[in-house]
A and B are shown apart, each in its own frame.
Chain A
Amino acid sequence: MIRISTRQWAFHRHAWKSVNRTLSSGAEAKLAGASIEQGSADKQRSESNLPVHDVAIVGGGMVGMALACSLAKLPLTNHLNIAIVDSNPALQNGQSIKKETPPDPRVSTVTPATRALFQDVGAWKYVEEHRHAYFDRMQVWDYTGLGYTKYHARDANKEVLGCVVENKVLHKSLLSCLQDSGSQHKLYPLRLSSMHLEPASASSHHGSLAKLELSDGNSLYAKLVVGADGSKSRVKELAGISSTGWKYSQNAVICTVEHMEENRCAWQRFLPNGPVALLPVGDKFSNIVWTMDPEDSLNRKSMSEVDFVKEVNRALDNGYGPRPKSQSFGGASPFSWLTAKNTVSADDCFEIPPKITKLASERMVFPLSLKHANSYAKKHVVLIGDAAHTVHPLAGQGVNMGFGDAFSLSNVIAEGIAVGSDIGEVSLLRRYESDRKPANLTMMAILDGFQKAYSVDFGPLNVLRAAAFQGVQSFSPLKRNIMSYASGEQRFPLFS
């Protein structure tokens, strides 16, 4: 008997709380009988006025919005109530991006695998409405002039190697995709101040939820908190997840430049102090990402525009060392006996990068570091994107790893909902971790290896590096393997 009445009381308590949440006057009339419980349930009622969401994405950047979009599109998760916590004003007003403005210096290279994921959720069509630049060639060489590698998309039977898109375009596309999907989502234009993951009291109705406190004093409940708030993630800090990593003693200077001819090739030259990369952005613009020592970065940021353009041209062309010789008929390539062909097509010759004519944006400087969270998931909390891993920009992989995380997490959440799991359960989140962690760690190890290998100026090592360039250039299966791994089609290099 007592059992039955306590169950009824619990049922009424929940019914009362659900009324508060939905705020429908019709339901309130039905529950007039539950008013007896008011006195005892007062304290819990004030708590239960707080909104309860299924997923709270802290950080509405590219990766956070990719997760929101993906959850909104998958049939098993499109009923979820999503909260996005980000004080960035770009999320609020529907500012359209004007085509006349020169490209923003903050760009990302989208690999074909990421583009396929975007197409799956229907967000790529929004990206194509704005400026974007496909490239089908890439040339990598260094200052010693001993070797170079030229990648062509057609060598791997593909059309493009990647697409360079401004970050604000990617962000706006994902935001539009989410808004057009019609799913339930709410933006909280605030910052996260604190988080409670353990239930306050054992008998609390919201015992199985995480409580987030925002900067204006309001709170909200969520079954799952996703930390997509970047390398200085507050969610990671509040959840007590430690990370491993080190700072590179390098800063990156980024800016947009203009040149005379069209550019459909990505250029990267390794200099003694770090690589300089020239990526096509669209029209006659390209993006420069130049890694260098911190003192040099301050100098180059403050020098005049004309001087900077001269420095960039020197860095890309024949400053610091000679140009490599093309492999031609009489080319002294040590690997020429391995390749069957004796003639070399014009496309495989060393090309000089386009000459920069002027600077088209301000110069921005960012410190570089490597950081990896020791675990991606805890009860009710999961990390994606830069919050989980930060890498060197030398291979343009950082945000692609983040997008991979976002889409993998949404699939894992869908699988969990298919079998009725609680989405905040650690066992479910660990499946996401075991899917992404090995791939992320492998990529990070390779990028770190490259960064270290190219920051030493030592005679024999230089020759070894040059030999590596030549080897990859001549040995096409290896080249194809590298291209397929870098474009995201292969999970691990060399194997699979």
Chain B
Amino acid sequence: MIPRQILARARSLARPAGRSSQPANHYPSLEFHHKLRTRCYSEAPLPSPAAANPVTPVSPEPPLVPVAAHLPAADLRSKSSLNEAELKKFAAISETWWDADGPFKPLHAMNPTRLAFLRSTLCRHFGKDPCCSRPFEGLKFVDVGCGGGILSEPLARMGASVTGVDAVEKNIRIARLHADLDPTTSSIDYLCTTAEKLVEEQRKFDAVLALEVIEHVADPADFCKSLSSLTEYSGATVISTINRSMRAYATAIVMAEYVLRWLPAGTHDWSSFLTPEELVLILQRTSVSVQEMAGFAYNPLTGRWSLSDDVGVNFIAYATKNRE
């Protein structure tokens, strides 16, 4: 198990007050390391029910480019944190992004809540007035793993210049079509690319958002490094994901996928979830410190999500770059 000192330090990192940034000299335990490495070089990722073709297992020796070779457009020399099977899963249901009752229903329902968190933390970070209708005017945001643009469109309406990035071409097409329906959102720049490629192009953004993406990525550590490189020194990074806890297994996988059938079975892989402590540590390694964390709670009676202190299932973390 993770040593108690690391857990305690991770928790203190997550709390907003009285934080001290220490260099991450503590080596995580072997088990913890094993978990991360397993994901990096995992064999036979879960076959998605929608994809017809069987998934070929990756060789057990650690190759330099685990999955990038599968992508036709990827540069062989650049590492990619993408997971091919995950991409296939999303490509199969990409038409249903904007169907509020389809497989993305929970995401649509959660959207206003996570936007509320973004609004309060980012307005405070950039010193903007949250009571005006376009508080993010003049700021450059990037939505990594934007999918159909569910998060990008409201951010554009709030005044930000949004760049939406997704590795699945179909998603980008759907996102562009939908964004063109409204003149305020038609200025969103959608690109079918990866975070790593943006880093190569040396793009920088005021806020880098990767919401509900990191659990679908093959190498979270590398992914976080790319996110950190994309963030300006005065910028913010926001990541949201699902906690790797028993409660999350019961709710996000068993309830959501099998009992209530909100999501197609196999959407999430429990072993790919990250605990808040792990996320904080990974980000800390890339010189990004988590300032605030919040959880999402679902009220089954009203059918609405709300922000809470309970990071047991879904959680979102707002982080800033360390000033070295």
B100–A427 contact, CB under 8 A? Answer: yes
Contact A419:B181 (CB < 8 A) given known A75-B131, A75-B132: no
Chain B neighbourhood of A18, CB < 8 A: 183
* Chain A proximity of B148: nearest CB distance (Å): 14
Contacts of A415 on B, CB cut-off 8 Å?
A: 112
Contact between chains at B181 and A421 (CB < 8 Å)? no
Considering the chains assembled together, what is the distance between the CA atoms of A457 and B79 in angstroms?
87
CB proximity of A180 to chain B, nearest CB, Å: 21
- Judge whether A205 is part of the interface by a CB distance below 8 angstroms: yes
Asked if A17 and B133 make an inter-chain contact with CB atoms under 8 angstroms apart, the answer reads no
Which A residues between 1 and 49 are near B, CB-CB below 8 angstroms? 7, 10-11, 14, 17-18
Partner of A420, one of B131, B154, B187, B189: B154
Q: Decide if B294 is an interface residue (CB 8 Å cutoff).
A: no
- Size class of A's contact patch? 20 to 34
Return B192 CB to nearest CB of chain A, in Å: 8
| Size bin of chain B's contact surface | 20 to 34
With both beta carbons as reference points, the residue of chain B lying nearest to A424 in the complex is identified as B182
Q: A332 — which chain B residues lie within 8 A by C-beta? A: none
**How far apart are the CA atoms of A48 and B121 in the complex, in Å?**
38
Render A201-219 as a binary contact track against B, CB cut-off 8 A, 1 for contact.
0000101100000000000
Q: Which of A14, A199, A421 contacts B154 (CB 8 A)?
A: A421
Which residues of chain A from 155 to 210 have a CB within 8 Å of any chain B CB?
199, 205, 207-208
Q: Would A422 and B187 be within 8 Å (CB), given that A75-B131, A76-B133, A427-B100 are in contact?
A: no
Say whether A434 faces chain B, with CB atoms less than 8 Å apart. yes
Which residue among A17, A199, A208, A420 has the maximum number of chain B CB atoms within 10 Å of its CB? A420
The residue of chain A having its C-beta at the shortest distance from the C-beta of B116 within the complex is: A419
Task: Verify A418–B130 contact, CB threshold 8 A.
Answer: yes
Is B155 part of the contact surface with A, judged by Cβ < 8 Å?
Answer: yes
The verdict on B153 contacting chain A, using a C-beta distance below 8 Å, is yes
A417 within 8 A of partner (CB): yes
Convert B181-224 into 0s and 1s, putting 1 for each residue whose CB lies closer than 8 angstroms to a CB of A. Answer: 11100110100000000000000000000000000000000000
B133:A434 contact, CB within 8 angstroms: no
Bound form: Cα–Cα A484–B112 in Å? 34
CB <8 Å contact, A10 and B180: yes
On chain B, the residues within 8 Å of A419 by CB distance are 111-112, 115-116, 119, 154, 158
Cβ-based interface call for A259 (8 A): no
Say yes or no: B155 contacts A205, CB within 8 Å. no
A241 at the B interface (CB under 8 A): no
- A79 interfacial by beta-carbon distance below 8 Å: yes
Whether A427 lies near B108 (C-beta < 8 A) is yes
Chain B residue nearest in CB terms to A80: B133
Cβ-defined contact, B181 with A208, below 8 A: yes
Residue on B nearest A421 in the bound complex, by CB: B154
Residue of B nearest to A74 (CB): B131
B183 touches A420 (CB 8 A): no
Whether B187 lies near A417 (C-beta < 8 A) is no
Q: Which of B104-156 contact A (CB under 8 A)?
A: 108-109, 111-112, 115-116, 119, 130-133, 153-156
Give the chain A neighbours of B244 by CB distance below 8 A. Answer: none
Q: Mark B32-72, 1 if CB is under 8 A from A, else 0.
A: 00000000000000000000000000000000000000000
Docked pose: A55 CA to B154 CA in angstroms:
18
Inter-chain contacts of B100 with A (CB < 8 A): 426-427
CB-CB nearest in chain A for B180: A10
Interface membership of B157, Cβ < 8 A: yes
Chain B residues whose C-beta falls within 8 Å of the C-beta of A427 in the assembled complex: 100, 108-109
Residue of chain B at shortest CB distance from A428? B112
> Of B115, B131, B153, which contacts A76 at CB under 8 A?
B131
Q: Which of B133, B158, B176, B182 contacts A422 (CB 8 A)?
A: B182
Q: Closest chain A residue to B154 by CB distance?
A: A420
Q: With a CB–CB cut-off of 8 A, which chain B residues contact A11?
A: 186-187
Within 8 A of B (CB), among A464-494: none
Q: Name A residues whose Cβ lies closer than 8 Å to a Cβ of B.
A: 7, 10-11, 14, 17-18, 75-77, 79, 199, 205, 207-208, 415-422, 426-427, 431, 434
- Nearest 6 interchain pairs by C-beta: A420-B154, A419-B115, A420-B157, A208-B181, A420-B158, A207-B181
List 19 other contacts, CB 8 Å, given A419-B116, A427-B100. A7-B176, A7-B189, A10-B186, A76-B131, A76-B132, A76-B133, A79-B133, A205-B180, A208-B182, A416-B112, A418-B116, A418-B130, A418-B133, A419-B119, A420-B115, A420-B155, A426-B100, A427-B109, A434-B302
